[in-house]
Structure 1
């Protein structure tokens, strides 16, 4: 198994766990346990974001493109024709939300970030499919 295959496998696993956490948080939305599950989903988002951008970075390196940050990797992935402008805007917002996750002790911020996670999950699923299609 080469490194890109390993990264995309880990990316898929992380996305599946994010989906499970989102579902669980929604199931418990109107209970006293909701904040625990919401915060768990946000933590899963953090893990998923990290493996996502590292997968992009490695994919681009194999294409001869060097990027050193999530933002630059997204730009390069767009330039290579894999993303639309709308997707790039969502991904840049995702970076901002990821950077704010250290402040999720602020309830309003935790709710705002959580409200974006379903959209992020969908776009990350689409990117994962693109990456998996490049693996022989």
Structure 2
């Protein structure tokens, strides 16, 4: 009986560990500039994730969504190059030139070890 109880307990612990891993998804834990920040002299946007992301699944967009003096500014894509960090948990977006004053939105999506694509967006303002 005791062996059965120990085996059952080990099985439950194993399943719990597996389900915790399966439920983990790639999430953005920080960025520079930070969400909703007002900053100056932005030459790159850095994304930091809670876990390694699969580089081939990583997608990002950088959009200018507001320009000073223009109330109806249509979103404008900003060209950039990108680079994954050696740790696999970070990505740097590097626009060809420093960002002009305005409001920007970053939209990203990626999959982590569980291969489930996650994504979100955040905005910041350059003064």
TM value normalised by structure 2: 0.30
Q: By percentage of residues, which structure has more strand?
A: 2
Q: By percentage of residues, which structure has more helix?
A: 1
TM value normalised by structure 1: 0.29
Larger radius of gyration: 2
